[in-house]
A and B are shown apart, each in its own frame.
Chain A
Amino acid sequence: MIKASTPAFRSPVEIVQITPAARAAATDSGHSNPMVAISGLYKSYGGFEVLKGCNLVVDRGEVVVICGPSGSGKSTLIKCMNGLQPFDRGSLAVDGVAVGDRVSDMTRLRARIGMVFQHFELYPHLTVLQNICLAQVHVLKRSKGDAQAKARALLARVGLPDKERAYPAQLSGGQQQRVAIARALAMDPVAMLFDEPTSALDPEMIGEVLAVMLELARDGMTMIVVTHEMGFARKAADRVVFMDRGAIVETAPTKQFFDAPRAERAQLFLSRILSH
Chain B
Amino acid sequence: MTIAGLDFGVIQRALPFLLEGLALSFFLTAVAMLGGIVLGLALAVVRLSGWKVAAILAAGYVNGFRAIPLVLVIFWFYFLVPLALGHSVGALQSVIIAFILFEAAYYSEIFRAGLKSIRPGQWQAAYASGLVYFQALRFVILPQALRNMMPLMITQAVVLFQDTSLVYVISLRDFMTSVSIVANRDNRQIETYLFAALVYFVVCAIGVASAKRLSAPGRAA
Chains A and B share a contact (CB less than 8 Å):
yes
Q: How far is the CA of A135 from the CA of B130 in the complex (A)?
A: 7
What's the minimum C-beta distance from B144 to chain A, rounded to whole angstroms?
5
Q: Is the CB of A167 within 8 A of B129?
A: no
What's the minimum C-beta distance from B196 to chain A, rounded to whole angstroms?
42
Q: Is the CB of B129 within 8 A of A187?
A: yes
Is residue B198 contacting chain A, with contact meaning CB distance below 8 A?
Answer: no
B-binding segment of A34-42, A116-124, A245-253: A116-124
Q: Is the CB of B122 within 8 A of A169?
A: no
Q: Is the CB of A183 within 8 A of B129?
A: yes
Q: Is the CB of B128 within 8 A of A84?
A: yes
What's the minimum C-beta distance from B43 to chain A, rounded to whole angstroms?
24
Most chain A C-beta atoms within 10 Å of own C-beta, residue among B127, B128, B147, B221: B128
Partner of A125, one of B119, B126, B135, B221: B221
Is residue A58 contacting chain B, with contact meaning CB distance below 8 A?
Answer: no
> Which B residues lie within 8 Å of A168 (CB)?
221
The count of residues in chain A whose C-beta lies closer than 8 Å to any C-beta of chain B is 29
What's the minimum C-beta distance from A165 to chain B, rounded to whole angstroms?
13
Is residue A110 contacting chain B, with contact meaning CB distance below 8 A?
Answer: yes
What's the minimum C-beta distance from B100 to chain A, rounded to whole angstroms?
29
Partner of A123, one of B124, B128, B135, B140: B140
Q: Is the CB of A115 within 8 A of B130?
A: no
**Contacts known (A117-B124, A119-B121, A167-B220); A124 close to B129, Cβ less than 8 A:** no
Q: How far is the CA of A186 from the CA of B139 in the complex (A)?
A: 17
Question: Please, which residue of chain B has its CB at the minimum distance from the CB of A168?
Answer: B221
What's the minimum C-beta distance from A180 to chain B, rounded to whole angstroms?
8
- Mask of A148-172 contacts with B, CB within 8 angstroms, 1/0: 0000000000000000000111000
- Mask of B133-167 contacts with A, CB within 8 angstroms, 1/0: 00100011001100100000000000000000000
Using a CB-CB cutoff of 8 Å, which residues 232-268 of chain A contact chain B?
A: none
Using a CB-CB cutoff of 8 Å, which residues 176-221 of chain B contact chain A?
A: 220-221
Is residue A107 contacting chain B, with contact meaning CB distance below 8 A?
Answer: yes
Q: Is the CB of A117 within 8 A of B131?
A: no
Question: Please, which residue of chain B has its CB at the minimum distance from the CB of A103?
Answer: B132
Is residue A134 contacting chain B, with contact meaning CB distance below 8 A?
Answer: yes
Is residue A218 contacting chain B, with contact meaning CB distance below 8 A?
Answer: no
Q: Is the CB of B124 within 8 A of A121?
A: yes
> Which B residues lie within 8 Å of A83 (CB)?
127
- Mask of A95-134 contacts with B, CB within 8 angstroms, 1/0: 0000000000001101101110101011111000000001
Using a CB-CB cutoff of 8 Å, which residues 97-139 of chain B contact chain A?
A: 119, 121-122, 124-132, 135, 139
> Which A residues lie within 8 Å of B119 (CB)?
119, 121
Is residue A227 contacting chain B, with contact meaning CB distance below 8 A?
Answer: no
Is residue A198 contacting chain B, with contact meaning CB distance below 8 A?
Answer: no
Q: How far is the CA of A148 from the CA of B130 in the complex (A)?
A: 18
What's the minimum C-beta distance from B50 to chain A, rounded to whole angstroms?
11
Q: Is the CB of A167 within 8 A of B121?
A: no
Q: Is the CB of A121 within 8 A of B143?
A: no
Q: Is the CB of B124 within 8 A of A184?
A: no
> Which B residues lie within 8 Å of A140 (CB)?
130
Is residue A138 contacting chain B, with contact meaning CB distance below 8 A?
Answer: yes
Question: Please, which residue of chain B has its CB at the minimum distance from the CB of A130?
Answer: B139
Q: How far is the CA of A138 from the CA of B128 in the complex (A)?
A: 13
Is residue A175 contacting chain B, with contact meaning CB distance below 8 A?
Answer: no
> Which A residues lie within 8 Å of B143 (CB)?
125
Question: Please, which residue of chain A has its CB at the minimum distance from the CB of B221?
Answer: A124
Q: Is the CB of B125 within 8 A of A134?
A: no
Is residue A24 contacting chain B, with contact meaning CB distance below 8 A?
Answer: no
Q: How far is the CA of A48 from the CA of B76 in the complex (A)?
A: 49
**Contacts known (A125-B221, A138-B135, A167-B221); A117 close to B130, Cβ less than 8 A:** no
> Which B residues lie within 8 Å of A214 (CB)?
none
**Sampled A-B contacts (14; CB under 8 Å):** A107-B130, A110-B130, A111-B130, A113-B128, A114-B128, A117-B125, A122-B125, A135-B129, A135-B130, A135-B131, A138-B131, A139-B130, A167-B221, A187-B130
Residues of A in contact with B (beta carbons under 8 Å apart): 79, 82-84, 107-108, 110-111, 113-115, 117, 119, 121-125, 134-135, 138-140, 167-169, 183-184, 187
Not counting A123-B122, A167-B221, a sample of 5 additional A-B residue pairs whose C-beta atoms are within 8 angstroms of each other reads A107-B130, A117-B125, A119-B121, A122-B125, A169-B221
